[in-house]
Amino acid sequence: MKYIFLVVSVAFTLMGCSGNMDVSPGNRTTMEIISEYDAGEVVKGEFITAKFNVTNTGDYPLVIADVKASCTCTVAKKPEEPIAPGESAEIIAQVDTDKTRIGSVVKSVTVMANTDPPKEVVLIKATVLKN
């Protein structure tokens, strides 16, 4: 009985796999974002708050799927709602300079959206001074 159930399950699985394999990723759009934020000189221990203005320059809603920081000293927050064509929103990233070295620092945030290409990297630059 178990053998018959296994054979039938495998047969249904294979029949489902032989069909149309096209996967639609949704409507692609375009965005404009200034890719660099320069915080200038900051004292070690300060937080850098970088705001990146994102404008939907396409014809479909812009969905920011995820924002990923390059390290644990940086936290990024994305807009939760889709951005309508012609509208703008902000991606906010904070860098805890207490967790960075002294001197020139460059941190990156990868923005993933329904654009082509789907990834855009923005940079946060600063010179961290000894406190």
One-letter amino acid at 67 equals: V
Q: Find the Cα–Cα–Cα–Cα dihedral 117, 66, 32, 74, rounded to 10°.
A: -120
36-88 residue pLDDT tens: 999 999 999 999 999 999 999 999 999 999 999 999 999 999 999 999 999 99
Helix (H, G, I), strand (E, B) or coil at 22: coil
> Residue ranges of the domains in the chain?
46-131
Say what the pTM is: 0.77
Please indicate whether residue 29 or residue 14 has the higher confidence score (pLDDT).
29
Identify the CATH class of 46-131: mainly beta
* Cα angle, residue 125 at apex, residues 72 and 48 outer, rounded to 5°: 60
Task: Please say if the pLDDT value at position 9 is more than 90.
Answer: no
* Cα 16 from Cα 116, distance rounded (Å): 30
**What percent of the chain shows pLDDT beyond 90?**
78
Retrieve residue 67's tokens. 């924002």
Please tell me the predicted confidence (pLDDT) of residue 25: 53
pLDDT at 93 over 60: yes
